[in-house]
Chains A and B, each alone.
Chain A
Amino acid sequence: MLRKGLILVSILLLAVSTLFAAGGAESRDGSADTFYTSRDTLEVIVSWSAGGGTDTIARLMAPYLSKHIEGEPGVQIINVAGGGGIQGHNEFALRRRPDGTNMLFSAGSSQIAYLLNEPGIRFDFRDMQPAFGVPAGAVIYSNPQAGVSSVDDLLNPSEPIRFGSIGVASTDAIVLLAFDVLGLDVQTIFGYEGSGAIRVAFEQGEVNINRDGTIGYLGNVLPLVEDGLAVPLFTFGQVRDGQVVRDPAFPDIPTIAEVHERLHGVPPSGDTWEMFKAISSALFTLEKVMWFQKDAPAEAVQAVKDAGVKISADPEFRSHAQSIFGPYELIVGDEIESAVHDMLSALSVEVRNEFIQFLVDNYGLSPRSAEAQQ
């Protein structure tokens, strides 16, 4: 009986492994003149679970990518969630082959984790090359019933200014820096579950100043503004050639630079301001970036870059994108190279260490160094 069983097992093993060998033998046909063919599948790693903001934008772009990349490969979104977004980035950097079939879609929250050198990070954006980027905006608004009804109240509020945050090692960190730039006295309450929960706390008056991204603002806060329950104070603007300009989504709301001038009579300047601009461009001007590994084939990168330019001009995409990430232009072509280059060079180890020190000193970030990568 034992012998029979062993024979059985070995037959099975053989059968199954042949099946698999046959399946694995299917390979890419590289003979066509385009790098990709319609039989290829480009996998885009999204490091958060399905349904989140980054995932939604990736899924919006996928069919357009497929349509505009020469050779029309399939484009599939792969969610590798975990570790607050770090896991998917690590997987992309360490385990995915740089053969042009793997891309990574990073976002503000993983970019800040990289900046702050959060534990567990095994990737480096300097070892990647960008294909295109998606900008975003941020609006700071206040609750007029809880002490702050206009920019002018910021320095002398009738109630303490309270800001709700999910944690210091998140994109909220730049809001804390913004408050420092403006010289505001703000009590920060850490530990909220997410931006939705903070908005509820804002409506309740538990906190009275809040930050939202463009889409969250348009969908959830604008109705409150119309009812007089919220007042927009300022935006972070967009960093263009070292200058902060008004956010195209909110041409009527002043930028942080304008508010500084109004409160203190002079435009902002100095180290903290330069730090703010560098970080702001990393988190908002380039809020999401589509990456290849450094060693990915140049033809592949070029094909996706070209697709970025075409997508950006596709009227169907533009009307669709309007409702999902607002009236921003994709950052494509050579612009993305220089934008990423500027961002990474502005974020020198010194600047990052300075930023970390600011958060350690004021907001209880656990001490670490930006340099101790890997």
Chain B
Amino acid sequence: MYRYLSLGFGIFILLLFVTTGIAGLGFQRLAMYYPVTVSLIGTLLSLIYVIQQVNQLRKPVEASREDPDMLPFDKAFVYLAWFIGYILLISVVGLMVSTACYLGVFLYFQAKMRWWGVLISIASALLVLNLISQVMNLYWPRSLLGW
């Protein structure tokens, strides 16, 4: 998995550099030099990197070298989904409600907190958030419902 991800990421940035290089050619002359040069260097280096990674894949797998400290992927995606869900919720119903829901559900189901612990956590989090936002003039993300 580690090696496939390395190769995949290599190919991704190779394509990225190629794209930015081509897009860069459309800029005015003085705005073009720099991004095109950077993209060109990036393209060359990432090409070398991709070739290295392909060679790695061809080699027989050494058990000890495979997946050094690799964290499980599926789990990472689940947690990432939690984050994205939270942010999507904010965009609809606003920071306060989403934070209450997110903290509540996460602490209850994931952290296996008792329900009263969850309630106390949420209440204190919302309180602190309001307090700090007041003192520091913080702004909350705008939401569709405008809360």
Contacts and interface: CB of A to CB of B under 8 A. Distances in A.
B104 interface: yes
A366 B122 CA distance: 53
A4 B126 CA distance: 22
Interface in B19-35: 28, 30
Nearest to B103: A12
Given A13-B100, A364-B28, 13 more contacts: A5-B105, A8-B104, A8-B108, A9-B101, A9-B105, A12-B104, A13-B97, A13-B101, A19-B96, A20-B97, A20-B147, A364-B30, A366-B28
Nearest to B108: A5
Nearest to B99: A16
B19 to A, nearest CB: 21
A19 B99 CA distance: 14
Contacts of B122: 12
B118 interface: yes
A17 interface: yes
Contact of B96 (A9, A20, A364): A20
Contacts of B109: 5
B115 interface: yes
Interface residues of B, number: 16
20 contacts: A4-B115, A5-B105, A8-B108, A8-B115, A9-B101, A9-B104, A9-B105, A12-B101, A12-B104, A12-B119, A13-B100, A13-B101, A16-B96, A16-B97, A16-B100, A16-B126, A17-B97, A20-B96, A364-B30, A366-B28
Contacts of A20: 96-97, 147
Interface of A: 4-5, 8-9, 12-13, 16-17, 19-20, 364, 366
Contacts of A13: 97, 100-101
Contacts of B100: 12-13, 16
Contact of A8 (B28, B118, B147): B118
Interface in B98-137: 100-101, 104-105, 108-109, 115, 118-119, 122, 126
A13 B103 CA distance: 12
A17 B104 CA distance: 15
B41 to A, nearest CB: 22
A19 B147 CA distance: 11
A356 to B, nearest CB: 15
Contacts of A19: 96
Interface in B40-79: none
A92 to B, nearest CB: 15
Contacts of B119: 12
Contacts of A366: 28
Nearest to A5: B108
A9 B104 CA distance: 7
A182 B122 CA distance: 68
Contacts of B115: 4, 8
Contacts of A364: 28, 30
Nearest to B94: A20
A5 B118 CA distance: 11
A5 B96 CA distance: 19
Contacts of B96: 16, 19-20
A280 B109 CA distance: 65
A216 to B, nearest CB: 27
Nearest to B142: A95
What 4 A-B pairs have minimum CB-CB distances, sorted nearest first? Answer: A16-B100, A12-B100, A16-B97, A12-B104
Contacts of B147: 20
Nearest to A191: B30
A17 B145 CA distance: 12
Contacts of B118: 8
Contacts of A5: 105, 108-109
B92 to A, nearest CB: 13
Nearest to A15: B100
Contacts of A9: 101, 104-105
Nearest to A24: B147
A17 B108 CA distance: 21
Contacts of A8: 104, 108, 115, 118
A8 to B, nearest CB: 6
For A5, A12, A13, the residue with the greatest tally of chain B CB atoms inside 10 Å of its CB is: A12
Nearest to B109: A5
Contacts of B30: 364
B120 to A, nearest CB: 12
B34 to A, nearest CB: 11
Contacts of A12: 100-101, 104, 119, 122
A4 B119 CA distance: 13
A124 to B, nearest CB: 23
A8 B115 CA distance: 8
A5 B113 CA distance: 11
A25 B143 CA distance: 18
